[in-house]
Structure 1
Amino acid sequence: MTSVRRLVSATSVVVLALVAAPSAATAGPGADPDTPWRMRHWPQTQPWQADEAVALNGRNGPPPVDPQRYELPDTMTWADYRPIPGTNWADPAVRGSERTFDGALVLVDYPNQPFVVTQPANSTIYGNPSGVEKLARADVPAFYRDFLNQPGRLNRGHTIHEYWMEDSGGRFGIELSAYGVYQMPAKSHEYGIEAQMQRGQGCPAGDTCHRNLRTDARAAWIAAVGEAEAATYDFVFFLSAGQDESATWQEFGPMKFTTREEVTDDFGPPDDALPNWNATRYVDWTSWQASANVWPNATQGSSLQAESSGMSTYAHEFSHILGVGDNYNNPYGTPPRRDYSGPWEMLSRGTFNGPGGPHSRWLIPGTAGSSMGAQHMLRNKLKLGIADPEAVVRLSRAALAGSGLVLTRVTARSVESGGITVTLDGGDRAPACDTATDPLCDGGGYDNYTLEVVDRMGFDSFTPDSGVLLAKTKNADNAPFIWTIDANPQDIDKVDFVRPDGTPQKMTIGDYRQLSDALFHAGAGSGSEFEYVDTANRLQFYVLDRRRDGQGVLSYEVAVRSLDGAGPARRGVQAFPALARPDRSGWAQCTIGVRNSGRAADVIRVTAPGATLPRTVIGLAAGKTSTIPVWTKNIGRTTVTLTSESNPSAQATTACVVLR
C-alpha cells in the first residue's frame, strides 16, 4: 500500500445529509427568524432539550457500535451456519428463473485406485473414508450425485443447486445426472503426476505420466452413452476416485513431515528408485503420494474433481465453465504477495470455506473445509449476470465530482446481491508500486471500486466476519482482477499449524486468512476502520451505520464522495446542546441533536476535544435529523463541532454540559 491510499483512523467523523450553518437564513422560505430553530424544526420531546438532565444509571463508558468479531475458518463448526430468512434455495423442485443448467457427473476409477467410499472406514493412508463406507461400486454414482445435489443427512441439506440459487438470487439452478463408474486404462498416478506441478519428476519406471484424465474419461463415457446423449448436457463434472492434490499436498507433506527426507515409505512411490517426496505446485516438496493425486481444474465445458473435493470445489470450477477466471496468489511464493480477494470470493480462497477451514479439505466425502464456499463478490456477480440490477448503485468518479456525495443503504449480499460500483473513468491513478518488493502492492491498472455487505448467513456463514467489503476491480480477468481493500493490512500474526517437530508455523503474508479482518465496520473503536480515502483516485468511502432487522437481515448505511467536487447543492449543519449527569463510574453521556439543513445528502464529521465519540460519522438526507452521543468524564462544558464533509465551511458548534 502507499501513503496516498491511506486508511483514515477512527477519529471523530459524522456522515450526514447536511446543509448550511444554523441561522435564520437556513430555516427555509417563510420561516420566522425570531422563532428558535428547535421549536420550528425539532420534536419537542427530544432528550437534548436544555431543561433535561440525563442520569446514566451505572453504565461504564461507551461500547463500540459495531465491534469487529472475526473468526478464523479453522475454528468454525456446523453450528456457525445460519439460514437466510424466508428462503429454501436447496429445494430441488425449484428451477432457476433464468436457467437451470443440466450437468453430467461422470465417475472414473483406476486399476490401482477404487473409489474410497467402497473401502472400509479410515482404511486409507489418509484415514478415509469417513461417514460412509463399503459402498458397492455400482452404487457410487448415485451416492455422489445425491451427496452433491440432493439435500440429505451427510451434506447437512446443502447442495450445488442451493449454492447457485442463493448466489444468483434464484436465477441459476443446477441439475445432475450420474454416469459410470468407468475404469481408466492407466494407474491413478499416471494422471496425477503432471509436467507442470511435478516439474517432470516422480514418474515410476515403466509408467507413462502426464496423461490427460479428461480425455480418457470422456472417451469412456462416450463409448458407453454415445455423442448424442453427451451433447444433451450443458457441462460435465468428471469425478476421479481418490484424493485431490489441492487438499493433501500440505497436510500430508510439510504438516506431517518436518523434512522431505522424513517422508515415510507408506507415503512414497511404488518404485524404490524414487524418493518418497516429490515436487508440488506451491512449494518445493510434498509426499510422493500427495503429489500423485489429481488437481481439480476446469476447461471449457467440463471440470475435474476428486472424492475429497468439497461442494465448493464444484461451484468454483463451474464458475470457470461460465467464463470467470481464478483470482488468487501463491501463498508461499517468492517474492511474497498478499492474497487478492481472500475468503470473501468463490474464485479466490473462499472456495476453502466450511467447517474446519483449509486444513480439513482432505476428508472423503468432503463434509468440512470446501463444503460451504463464499458467494461471488459483486464484480463477478455482475459479470455472471446474477446481481440484482435494482440493488446496484452505479457511479463514476467524474459524475460524483459533479453530483456530490451519494448516501445509500446496502443489504447483505446473501439476501440481496447489490452494492455500489464506482467506475474510475480515465483509469487508475494510483502511484506505481513494485510487487517484487512490496507484498501489499496491488499492481495497479484497476477500472472500478465495488462496495458490498457480507453477513455470516447462508453460504457466507463460513466467511470470517460480517461487515462492509470494499475492493478495486478490473474489467478483464487478468489476476489480480479483484483486490480486497484490507481495513487491517498489518500481519494478522496467527499460527497456521504446528510442525511435526513442535515448531509453530505462522500464516505467511500471502495466506488468504490474512484478510479475515479486512471488512470495514461502523463507528469508532470497532477494531477496524469506518472510512477509506484513495487520494490518488480522488475518492472517499464511509461506513456510517449498521442495522439488523427483525428477521436478522444485516444492512449498512454507506456513502461515497469525490474529493474533487461536492456538486451544486447548498450545504449546512445545525446542532443543539445537551445536558447530562455522570453515572457511578464517572461517565456522562450527552445526546447532541444534529440536522442536515442543506439541500443534499452529506457526511458530517464530529469533534469534541477531551470526549469520546462512539459514533463519529452519520449519514443524513437533506432536511433530516439525528443524534450524536458524546461521552465524557469532564464536569462542565465540552465543545462539540459538526462539520460538513462536502463543504467544511458549513459547520455548527454546540456544547455537552455535564452537571455534578
Structure 2
Amino acid sequence: MLLGRSSTPARSWWSRDSSYVWSLKMLLAHCNVAAKTVLACTLLVTFTQALPLTSNKWTAASDPFAVLDAQNWENPDNMTWDDYVPPPNTNWSDPSRRGFSRNFNIALVTIDYPDQPFVITLSPNSTVFGNPQAVVSDLERGDVPAFYRDLLNLPSELNHGHTLHEYWMEDSAGKYGVNLTAFGAYQMPKRSYQYGVDDGRGGFNPGACPSSELCSVDLRTDALGAWRRDVGDETADSYELAFILSAGQDESSTWQEFGEMKFRTQADVPDSFGPPNDTTLPNYASTRYVPWTSWASASTIWPNAGAGSSTQAESSGLGTYAHELSHLLGIGDNYNNPYGDPERRAYTGPWSMLSRGTFNGPGGPHTRWQIPAVQGGSLGCLHTIRDKIQLGLLADNSSVLYVSRESLAESGPVVVELTARSVDPGEGLIGLRVVMGEDRSPRCNISLDPFCDGGGYNNYDLEVIDRMGADSFTPDSGVMVSKTKDRDIAPFQWTIDANPQDIDVVDFYRPDGTASKLSIGDYRQLSDALFHAGTRSGSKAEHVDEANGLQFYVVSTRRDEAGVLYYTVGVRAIKTSDQIKLPLKVKLSDGKVADDRFIEGAEQRTSCSFELTTGGSNASNATVALSRDIYRLTAEVDGEGWRAELPNEFMIAESGKTNVADVAVAAADSASRSATVTLTATSESNPSFKTTATCFVRTGRPLYSHHRPTWSKSQ
C-alpha cells in the first residue's frame, strides 16, 4: 500500500513543544478505508490509543502532588479584622432576633472610683497604660453606660458588627440570645486599688495594699448595692444576671504587658507605675502567674464571676463577657498557669471559650490592655462540643453522635461526616463522642511530665473547627480530637496535640532585646494541634490510643458551595470481639491515567485513578457484614526514575458504592519511558482482607526520532 505525504508544512513531530493531537491527526489522515488498508488503519488506531497526550501545564490546584489538606496555622498576633469570615446565609447579630429557647435579660452596671474615672472620658493616651486609644476618648461620664452597652451588644463600625447576642446565638444555633440594659454610672465609696489589690489569704497580690488602708474590699457588695438603691429591688430582681463594668484596666490584660514585657527587672519599674502616696511599698507587686508585675497592673481588678454577677473592666473584651457568662451558667475554668512551676501544657488552649480561646481576636493577646477593647479578646472562640453539652447550648443531642467503646468492639468502625461547629448543622452532626466510661491510660505525674493529662477521662470527642464566625480568630481549621470528663474537674478537656513538639515561636522581646519564646505551658503551643486529612499536611490524619483500645481517623474533607467546612472522620476499636462483623467485599479496578501532564522543570507528572467497588458480604451465615469500613492505601511504582505518592492514605468502603483513590505519579527527565503503579487497599478492621490493582503509565518523550518518517510503497 502507498501512504502519500501530506502537504502540511514540515515540523518536528516528536519535539516536546509539538502537539501529539496534531501528530495523530496527520497519521490518521494517511489512513483510507479501502478494504486492503483496514489492517494498517487498525494498527494506527491501536497505536494512537497507547500514545501519551500533550504536555499541558496544570495549575497548582490541579497538580496531582498538591497537598490535600495542608495545615497553615496562623499566629493570632498577626491577625486583623480582615480574617473574619461570616457564617453563610445567616445574621446572628440581628438585634431583632431572639433566642428561641432563652433570651438572657442582663443588667450592665457601670461603676467608677474617686481616683479612677472612666478611661474613655479622658484624653487619648493620657493614662500610664497609654489609654484611651484615639478611636474613642473624651466622652461625657453620663454617656458611658450607653456607650459600653452598644459596644457590647449593638452592631456598629467600632465593634465590627460583633455583639454578645451574636456570639451566643451562633454558639447555640439560635437557642440562646442576650439582651443588655445599662445602668449607672455609680461611683464607689473606696479607691480603685482597694477593690483591685487582692491581698487576702491566697490572694494574687499579697503585701501590695498601701499602709493604713483596707484592700480586698468586695466590689460586688458596693456595686450591686448602689444599683439596687437606684432602681429598687423589684427592678433589680427582674434581671437574671448582672455584669459589673469597672472603670480602668483589668489585671488579666496588663500583668505581662506592663510587667516583664515593659521592664527588665522588678527594680526597673518607675514611680509612675508604683503605689500613690506610699514610699514604703515597692513599685512592683506579686501577681497570679509570675512573681512580679508593676504595682499599677497588680492594683486593678481580675475579672471573675459568682453569685449571679460577674466583674469586668473597660479593657475586658467581648470574649471576657462570654467567658464569665459561661461561669454564670454553671461551668468552670479549663486553663493552666502558663508559667507554673512545674510547667504544664495548656488543656484546650485557643480552641475553647473556657480556656484561652477567650483571648482570641485580631492582634493577639498582647493587645488586650487597649481601651476600648476591639483587638485581642474582642471575639473569643466558640464553646467546645463538650461544653455545649454541659451548658445546654444544643437544641437536643441529635447533632452529636454517641457511641460506646464496647459497641465499637462489636460493630466495627463508625464513620460520619461532621460540620464545622460555627455553622448550624441542620440535620447533620457537629460532634462524635466515644463514651469510654473508664480511662485506661497509664498513670503519669503532672509534676514531672508537662504533657501528662492527669487521667480520669470519660470520653473522646471529635469536632470540626473552621476559621469562620466566632472561630475566625482561632489559629487553624481542622479536626480537634480531645479527651473529656463528665464533671468539671480541671482539666476536664484535654486536646490531643497532633504536633506536640515545641512550636518554637517568639512571644515577645524583652526591654534588653532578648527574645522570649512561648513557654511549654503557653496556650499558643496548641496552635498546630488540629488533625488534617491526607498525607504531607504538616499534621496527622490519625490518632491511636493503645491503652484505651481506640483508633481515630480523619478520612477526608470538603467545602460546599457556601464555604461550609466538613470532615469525614472515623473511629474503631483496636481489639474486637470474636464475633466481629467481617469486612465488605471490595475490589480495586485497574487504574486510569489522567489525560493531562504537568511539567515542572524536567519532571513530568500525572495521576492514576483507581475505583474501589464495594459489593456483597464476606460474612458467613453466622455474621453480618459491615456497612462501612476504613481502608488503608499503599502505593508503589516499578520503573527507573519514577516516583508515586498518595494524596490520601485512607478511603471508605461503603456497601453498594464506588469510591475513587488517586495516586500521584512523576517521572524524572532520565526516567524509563514506562512504569507500573501498584495500589493496595487493606481493611483496617481485618488486615487479612486486601485488594490490589495496577496502572500503566508512560512519559511524553518521543518514541522515535525527531524527523518526520518517510513513507514508501508497500505491496
Q: What is the TM-score normalised by the length of structure 2?
A: 0.83
2:178 matched to 1:174? Answer: yes
Separation (CA, whole Å) in 1 of partners of 2:240 and 2:366: 33
* Residue of structure 1 in register with 2:420 after alignment: 412
What is the Cα deviation at residue 400 of structure 1? 1.1
Separation (CA, whole Å) in 1 of partners of 2:487 and 2:575: 28
Contact map agreement 2:610 2:661 (CA 8 A) in 1: yes
Moved more, 431-440 or 165-174: 431-440
2:574 matched to 1:563? Answer: yes
Over 3 Å counting, the alpha-carbon distance change for 1:312 and 1:54 in structure 2 is farther
2:147 matched to 1:147? Answer: no
* Residue of structure 2 in register with 1:621 after alignment: 654
Question: Which fold has the larger relative contact order, with Cα–Cα distance below 8 Å and residues 6 or more apart in sequence?
Answer: 1
2:636 counterpart SS class: coil
What is the Cα deviation at residue 593 of structure 1? 1.6
Over 3 Å counting, the alpha-carbon distance change for 1:296 and 1:56 in structure 2 is farther
1:427-466 to 2 correspondence within 5 Å? 427-466=438-477
Over 3 Å counting, the alpha-carbon distance change for 1:54 and 1:562 in structure 2 is farther
1:175 counterpart SS class: strand
Structure 1 residues 495-541: Cα deviation after superposition (integer angstroms, max 9, x where no partner): 00000100000000100001111111110000001111111111111
Separation (CA, whole Å) in 1 of partners of 2:315 and 2:550: 44
Q: What is the TM-score normalised by the length of structure 1?
A: 0.90
What is the Cα deviation at residue 55 of structure 1? 6.5
Contact map agreement 2:249 2:314 (CA 8 A) in 1: yes
2:229 matched to 1:223? Answer: yes
* Residue of structure 2 in register with 1:137 after alignment: 141
2:508 counterpart SS class: strand
What is the Cα deviation at residue 408 of structure 1? 1.1
What is the Cα deviation at residue 387 of structure 1? 2.5
Separation (CA, whole Å) in 1 of partners of 2:374 and 2:645: 47
Separation (CA, whole Å) in 2 of partners of 1:424 and 1:382: 14
Aligned mate of 1:590, from 608, 626, 647: 608
2:487 matched to 1:476? Answer: yes
Separation (CA, whole Å) in 2 of partners of 1:436 and 1:612: 43
What is the Cα deviation at residue 107 of structure 1? 0.8
Separation (CA, whole Å) in 1 of partners of 2:213 and 2:64: 71
Moved more, 66-75 or 584-593: 584-593
Structure 1 residues 289-312: Cα deviation after superposition (integer angstroms, max 9, x where no partner): 000010000003110000000011
* Residue of structure 2 in register with 1:525 after alignment: 536
Moved more, 220-229 or 301-310: 220-229
Aligned residues: 611
2:142 counterpart SS class: helix
Separation (CA, whole Å) in 1 of partners of 2:419 and 2:248: 41
* Residue of structure 1 in register with 2:712 after alignment: none
Aligned mate of 1:576, from 589, 595, 616: 589
Structure 1 residues 420-466: Cα deviation after superposition (integer angstroms, max 9, x where no partner): 44344440011111111111111100000110111111111101111
Aligned mate of 1:71, from 69, 74, 84: 74
Separation (CA, whole Å) in 2 of partners of 1:379 and 1:579: 45
Structure 1 residues 65-124: Cα deviation after superposition (integer angstroms, max 9, x where no partner): 110111011110000011111111111111100000100111111110000011111111
2:130 matched to 1:127? Answer: yes
Separation (CA, whole Å) in 2 of partners of 1:252 and 1:197: 20
2:137 matched to 1:110? Answer: no
Give the unaligned 5+ runs of structure 1.
1-49
Moved more, 579-588 or 450-459: 579-588
Aligned mate of 2:280, from 273, 277, 300: 273
Contact map agreement 2:556 2:569 (CA 8 A) in 1: yes
What is the Cα deviation at residue 316 of structure 1? 0.2
2:86 counterpart SS class: coil
1:181 counterpart SS class: strand
Contact map agreement 1:53 1:580 (CA 8 A) in 2: no
2:519 matched to 1:492? Answer: no
* Residue of structure 2 in register with 1:357 after alignment: 364
Aligned mate of 1:207, from 193, 196, 213: 213
Separation (CA, whole Å) in 1 of partners of 2:378 and 2:260: 24
* Residue of structure 2 in register with 1:657 after alignment: 696
Moved more, 478-487 or 201-210: 201-210
What is the Cα deviation at residue 125 of structure 1? 1.0
What is the Cα deviation at residue 586 of structure 1? 2.8
Give the unaligned 5+ runs of structure 2.
1-48, 618-624, 638-643, 668-673, 700-715
Contact map agreement 2:584 2:653 (CA 8 A) in 1: no
What is the Cα deviation at residue 571 of structure 1? 2.3
1:587 counterpart SS class: strand
Separation (CA, whole Å) in 1 of partners of 2:272 and 2:459: 51
Separation (CA, whole Å) in 2 of partners of 1:556 and 1:516: 19
1:464 corresponds to which letter in structure 2? P
What is the Cα deviation at residue 569 of structure 1? 4.6
Separation (CA, whole Å) in 2 of partners of 1:453 and 1:103: 31
Contact map agreement 1:580 1:659 (CA 8 A) in 2: no
Separation (CA, whole Å) in 1 of partners of 2:55 and 2:540: 28
RMSD of equivalent CA atoms: 1.7
Contact map agreement 2:633 2:651 (CA 8 A) in 1: no
Determine what percentage of the aligned residue pairs are the same residue.
54
Structure 1 residues 256-299: Cα deviation after superposition (integer angstroms, max 9, x where no partner): 00100000111111111111100000000000000001000000
Contact map agreement 1:252 1:290 (CA 8 A) in 2: yes
* Residue of structure 2 in register with 1:57 after alignment: 56
Contact map agreement 2:446 2:454 (CA 8 A) in 1: yes
Separation (CA, whole Å) in 1 of partners of 2:598 and 2:400: 45
Separation (CA, whole Å) in 2 of partners of 1:657 and 1:329: 56
What is the Cα deviation at residue 621 of structure 1? 2.0
Contact map agreement 2:205 2:285 (CA 8 A) in 1: no
Contact map agreement 1:423 1:449 (CA 8 A) in 2: yes
* Residue of structure 2 in register with 1:33 after alignment: none
What is the Cα deviation at residue 53 of structure 1? 6.1
Q: Point out the structure with max Rg over C-alpha.
A: 2
Aligned mate of 2:266, from 257, 260, 270: 260
2:398 counterpart SS class: helix
Contact map agreement 2:118 2:141 (CA 8 A) in 1: yes
2:645 corresponds to which letter in structure 1? T
What is the Cα deviation at residue 54 of structure 1? 6.8
Separation (CA, whole Å) in 2 of partners of 1:308 and 1:349: 16
1:319-358 to 2 correspondence within 5 Å? 319-358=326-365
2:302 matched to 1:295? Answer: yes
* Residue of structure 2 in register with 1:501 after alignment: 512
2:296 corresponds to which letter in structure 1? Q
2:471 counterpart SS class: helix
Structure 1 residues 530-582: Cα deviation after superposition (integer angstroms, max 9, x where no partner): 11111111111111111111111111111111112284254232102225486
Contact map agreement 1:83 1:458 (CA 8 A) in 2: yes
2:72 corresponds to which letter in structure 1? R
Separation (CA, whole Å) in 1 of partners of 2:236 and 2:407: 50
